[in-house]
Structure 1
Amino acid sequence: MAYQHQSEEISVLIIEDDVRIAEINRRLMEKVPGYQVIGIATDGQQARDQLAILRPDLVLLDIYFPDMNGLEFLEVIRQDFHETDVIMITASREISSVKEALRSGVFDFIVKPLVFERLKNSLEKYQEFHSKLKRIQKENHHVNQEEIDELMDRQKEQLNSYLPKGIDKITLQKVTEVLDHTDEGLNAERLAKKIGISRPTARRYLEYLVAKDQIGADLSYGEVGRPERIYRKK
């Protein structure tokens, strides 16, 4: 279904197979000033058709559909509708899904059930990012390093605002600080001792950073025992 669009607002297409949830999301979105939902698509074909016709600024995209995978559909958007940005709204909590979505360039990744304040925060940050980008495009087709850094910092801040279950922001910051000051790399046991957490917890944070492609991991073969994973900043 499609709606009339007022050009000064950010246009949004909701891609969600559950019509009831799509309508709830539409009502929540339009509580945020500056946004207008111009269409709802409930399957892959509708999504392709409405993207081609409506050319929305932003898509709210689920992962699970009867006839398609939302993560795979991200590639369709990137290839054929690259002017459209994406916010994932999904029940999926697997780190692999988060990793794939982030690598595909989504602006945000929000886990169901949708909380209005979390959505509002994301939309306000996107609005700021979108406005800045539009202003730069209008004023000049070229950007300087400062403007690029500002756009990148805002997008990185938004992407980093989502943390999966079991990953605490403060602990993650401590882990990152230790890695920043360790040139030779370290294993989970050394990290655990440095910041006062258990070895399994340390490994969970290290593997999370590996999954986000922020650090690397290599195998170290000692004289006795099994090889261990050594983590270091890239």
Structure 2
Amino acid sequence: MYDVVIVEDDFYVANLHKKYVEQLPNFHVVFSARTGAEVENYLASHKQPHLILLDMYIPDVEGVTLLWTLRERYKTLNIIMITAAKDTSTIQQALCAGVQDYLIKPVDLARFTASLARFEMYDKHLQQSQMGQHTLDVLFNLKPVAKEQQYPKGIDATTLNKVKYQIEQSARGLTAVSLAKEVGISRSTARRYLEYLVSVHVLQAELLYGDVGRPERYYKKA
């Protein structure tokens, strides 16, 4: 069970956030403070909570000042800012102070719930003795960088995209001659790209016989 402290001078908002917190099965509010002094006194005489929901505008101290005070005294204290402050300077200071999240009022329930769920995931990962890069990427909400696709010699991504575009535009399919004309490449180059797409099962090729001459190779989507 996660102990949560709310620091919010507006009684109605504090109660609303308490209601939001306690809708979640693993969280409960152990204290609500209206001032910086109240939360400092509570922390000095009680077990450190797992999480503090901190407003920026409180009567006796500037929220950023209180944030840094708490960070200096309690190095591992988890803090989520919930405030109407939207200025970049305040947000930057909060991020530099290592807040878990920054929610702008009024906060809807879905966003609030997502924030606490992310905190819970973060805390569970920290129970491990070690973490690999994948876990750290999850904690920092990073997606792995997609590797650039490698193509065979003679095939480049820019021309291939042009070829694919022409294929999408042609419901009946294309020949190397018609593709070369549309893309502005030689017939042999067009044939090379078409045959590559056949090899990776994007296209299929058919021989069409005319009245005279050799049959023509026709390409359409597989």
* Bin for the TM-score computed over the shorter chain: 0.5 to 0.7
Q: RCO (CA 8 Å, sep 6+): is it higher in 1 or 2?
A: 1
User: Which residue number in structure 1 is paired with residue 67 of structure 2?
Assistant: 74
Q: Unpaired runs of 5+ in structure 1?
A: 1-8, 137-142, 157-234
Tell me the matched-pair count.
142
**Counterparts in 2 of 1:133 and 1:147: CA distance versus 1, 3 Å:** farther
Choose from 15, 24, 30 the match for 1:23: 15
Write out per-residue CA displacement over residues 42-64 of structure 1, whole angstroms, 9 at most, x where no aligned residue: 11111101122131010000001
Structure 2 CA distance, aligned partners of 1:155 and 1:98? 20
How far is the alpha carbon of 1:124 from its aligned partner?
0.6
The answer as to whether partners of 2:37 and 2:60 remain within 8 angstroms in 1 is no
User: Which residue number in structure 1 is paired with residue 3 of structure 2?
Assistant: 11
User: Which residue number in structure 2 is paired with residue 36 of structure 1?
Assistant: 28
Write out per-residue CA displacement over residues 66-89 of structure 1, whole angstroms, 9 at most, x where no aligned residue: 111111111111111122100000
Write out per-residue CA displacement over residues 193-214 of structure 1, whole angstroms, 9 at most, x where no aligned residue: xxxxxxxxxxxxxxxxxxxxxx
The Cα RMSD (Å) is 2.0
**Aligned AA for 1:153?**
F
The answer as to whether partners of 1:38 and 1:54 remain within 8 angstroms in 2 is no
Structure 2 CA distance, aligned partners of 1:23 and 1:93? 23
Write out per-residue CA displacement over residues 160-180 of structure 1, whole angstroms, 9 at most, x where no aligned residue: xxxxxxxxxxxxxxxxxxxxx
2:52 partner SS: strand
User: Which residue number in structure 2 is paired with residue 122 of structure 1?
Assistant: 115
The answer as to whether partners of 1:87 and 1:109 remain within 8 angstroms in 2 is yes
Write out per-residue CA displacement over residues 70-119 of structure 1, whole angstroms, 9 at most, x where no aligned residue: 11111111111122100000011111111111111001000111210000
Q: Percent identity?
A: 30
Structure 2 CA distance, aligned partners of 1:148 and 1:155? 10
Write out per-residue CA displacement over residues 133-164 of structure 1, whole angstroms, 9 at most, x where no aligned residue: 0233xxxxxx35537734652499xxxxxxxx
User: Which residue number in structure 2 is paired with residue 149 of structure 1?
Assistant: 136
Structure 2 CA distance, aligned partners of 1:155 and 1:109? 17
Q: Give runs of ≥4 in structure 1 deviating > 2 Å.
A: 143-156
Between 102-111 and 46-55, the greater mean CA deviation after superposition = 46-55
The answer as to whether partners of 1:88 and 1:109 remain within 8 angstroms in 2 is yes
User: Which residue number in structure 2 is paired with residue 62 of structure 1?
Assistant: 55
Q: Unpaired runs of 5+ in structure 2?
A: 144-222
**Counterparts in 2 of 1:32 and 1:45: CA distance versus 1, 3 Å:** same
Larger radius of gyration: 2
